[in-house]
Structure 1
Amino acid sequence: MLQTTLIDKEISINDKGCFDKYFETSHVLASEMSFTNLFMWKDHYKIRFGIINDFLCIMSVRDISNPFCFFPVGDYNRREELKKTIETLKEYFTSEGWKLVFSRVTKQQLKIFDDIKIEYNATEDRNNADYVYTVKSLSTLAGKKLDGKRNHINKFKKLYTYEYEEISPSNIKDCKNIVEKWYRQRVQSSDETLLHEKIANLGLLENYGILGLKGGLIRVYGEAQAFTVGEQLNQNTVVIHLEKANAEIRGIYTIINQMFINNQWLHMEYVNREQDLGVEGLRKAKLSYNPDHLIYKYTIEVC
């Protein structure tokens, strides 16, 4: 008999093993679909989860926006069970007075809706499309389109004495200080998401070891000025969860990006640097690295 009980449970660090087990059964592409990302943002998005028919079902139930689900995670060869899982989710959402909406759905997942004959309306969500680059491109910054990036690094190397080191328990505090400084520089902004981002970043750093992450830090004249954190998303892709630096030091973002790839991820094929959220400056910056492709996502309303 199929399990059709929705467990409306909050995420804790102890759930990592459960999430990892399900993520390993499917070749996830979207940057959101990792335990680290969901754990970081669990309070901001009010993430809840349950297991239905051996599919991991993850929801966001924020008060200020409509609740939504991520696409269930599990063995997609079990199409009949997946269809029943979506039907159970619809019953649950209806009982709460909500429409069943799936967010951050990839093209590959969209096709599954068609295969299992679920009726839906789809809207492209360009602001949440992930930017994916080849490891080779970010490692070498070769080619005319990336001339400017190489120039930034060359100028940085001429102007500053610096050193790169892996993130470890001995320098986590330095990373936290960079986050705090980043926040103080922007705290007068009316954008409340800055505080949520700070909390998410510090939560990641507090649990860095347990989450099994990799990271790199750059010191300039001995002082920590930039750091970045990522992990393997799927068999051939690393996802970058976090990158913070002193923007007053020209070229430091470019060099931390390149050095992290060269020191930790040369065995991978792709780098997912997440979305631009519709922020014009961020979109321009991500496009300037000449992405190999974008992972387009959709918002799905089940009929």
Structure 2
Amino acid sequence: MANLTVKKQVLKPFTLKAKKIMEKYLAKVEVDISDYTFAANYIWLANSSGFYAVINKCFCLFVMTGGELTMLLPPLGKKKNTTKAIIKCFGIMNANNSSPYYARIDYVQSSMLEEFIKDTDEGESIFEMLEHYLVEKKLVDYVYNVESLIKLNGNNYHTKRTEINKFVKSYPEHMIETLDTTKHKEGILNLFNKWVSDRVKYMPKEEAEVFLEGIHQERHAIKQMLKHYEQLGLIGLVIYIDDEIKGFTVGEQINADTATVIIEKTDFEILGCAQYIFREFSKNLQEHFGINYINVGDDMGFENLRKVKMSYRPYRLVPKYTIYQK
């Protein structure tokens, strides 16, 4: 993969070699948003589309889509350096893009946003900054208390307990194993193929066509996850029923007491499997990694996914913003 040079700024390909560099700068910021990890971005980025540079002492991650540059994250670094870095990054995107309207910075957490819109070193006021930039609240990350996910106490979790109990009763011979890519790769890919087939089966034709267009990226992400599992420092479980993998979940630790779920899939025909593996993953994270909170990411704007994530009664919702140019 070749470097990309824009406005005399060299942007390097976002490969595994960037892991140590990105994590060095991640250590300078306090975050519990699921998007702020190397693994999550590396897994989901398509081949050859990610680029990075260190700008004004900040790690800056860009993505190229249809020839236009955007940023997947705000510049990562000490707060005193981020505002200048943001302005420089918009300059780079503008120099590359066919229109300034394409330039944007996604997944900006509120603390970084506050730093950006307050008075700058150049004396520019908040009103002058917002004259040039538009800040829009987008999605929220759903963060849960691990203890609540394990115990599932109270009426709010009655349905979850019932589904898990039915699963355990229906499949007493099920087995949970720590994910091993050598042993489990084929079974995970087979389950994913079945999951896609089952989803399409019950969709209207027009919805299925849109769904299949996006499934290529998810298949790529799972293959990336399996190929670089150990290097990325991931944590995962699989569930077996009758010698077949019927569910898997993969996540990572994002700070001292918070972990995130990156990818999870279960067989639709196995009722209660999704609820059961989520609880077991929560137990595993608490017991072996001392995790107190789990961030399951956002709902991508899908109403059904929002309902599922809200049904687990989030401990908190973490807003994420996008910065545009006016």
TM norm structure 1: 0.90
Instruction: Specify the alignment match of 1:229 in structure 2.
Output: 250
Instruction: Specify the alignment match of 1:211 in structure 2.
Output: 232
Instruction: Specify the alignment match of 1:279 in structure 2.
Output: 302
- Tell me if structure 1 keeps the 8 A contact 2:250–2:262: yes
Give the letter for the 2:113 counterpart. Answer: L
CA distance in 2, matches of 1:116, 1:202: 45
Q: Mapping of 1:30-45 within 5 angstroms?
A: 30-43=33-46
- Tell me if structure 1 keeps the 8 A contact 2:74–2:86: no
Question: How far is 1:224 from its partner?
Answer: 1.1
- Tell me if structure 2 keeps the 8 A contact 1:5–1:51: no
Q: Percent identity?
A: 29
Q: CA RMSD in A?
A: 2.2
CA distance in 2, matches of 1:159, 1:82: 54
Instruction: Specify the alignment match of 1:256 in structure 2.
Output: 277
Indicate whether 1:242 and 2:253 are aligned.
no
Q: Select the residue among 285, 288, 312 that pairs with 1:289.
A: 312
Q: Select the residue among 161, 174, 186 that pairs with 1:150.
A: 161
CA distance in 2, matches of 1:299, 1:211: 27
Q: Mapping of 1:13-28 within 5 angstroms?
A: 13-28=16-31
Instruction: Specify the alignment match of 1:94 in structure 2.
Output: 94
Q: Unmatched 5+ residue regions in structure 2?
A: 1-6, 121-128
Give the letter for the 2:316 counterpart. Answer: H
Instruction: Specify the alignment match of 1:181 in structure 2.
Output: 194
Instruction: Tell me the alpha carbon deviations over residues 17-74 of structure 1, each in whole angstroms, 9 at most, x when there is no partner.
Output: 2122211221223211111111112217932211112210011221187734521111
CA distance in 2, matches of 1:292, 1:5: 45
Describe the shift of the 1:159–1:65 C-alpha distance in structure 2 as closer, same or farther (beyond 3 A): farther
Instruction: Specify the alignment match of 2:209 in structure 1.
Output: 190
Question: How far is 1:206 from its partner?
Answer: 1.4
TM norm structure 2: 0.84
Q: Mapping of 1:126-165 within 5 angstroms?
A: 128-160=139-171, 161-165=173-177
CA distance in 1, matches of 2:244, 2:61: 40
- Tell me if structure 1 keeps the 8 A contact 2:76–2:82: no
Q: Mapping of 1:55-74 within 5 angstroms?
A: 55-63=58-66, 67-74=70-77
- For 1:170, what is the secondary structure of its paired residue? helix
Question: How far is 1:196 from its partner?
Answer: 1.1
Q: Unmatched 5+ residue regions in structure 1?
A: none
Give the letter for the 1:297 counterpart. Answer: K
CA distance in 2, matches of 1:83, 1:146: 43
CA distance in 2, matches of 1:39, 1:287: 28
Instruction: Tell me the alpha carbon deviations over residues 245-285 of structure 1, each in whole angstroms, 9 at most, x when there is no partner.
Output: 10110000000000011123341121000111111211111
Deviation above 4 Å: which 4+ runs of structure 1?
A: none
CA distance in 2, matches of 1:140, 1:55: 41
CA distance in 2, matches of 1:12, 1:157: 42
Question: How far is 1:244 from its partner?
Answer: 0.6
Instruction: Specify the alignment match of 1:46 in structure 2.
Output: 49
- Tell me if structure 2 keeps the 8 A contact 1:183–1:198: no
CA distance in 1, matches of 2:297, 2:313: 14
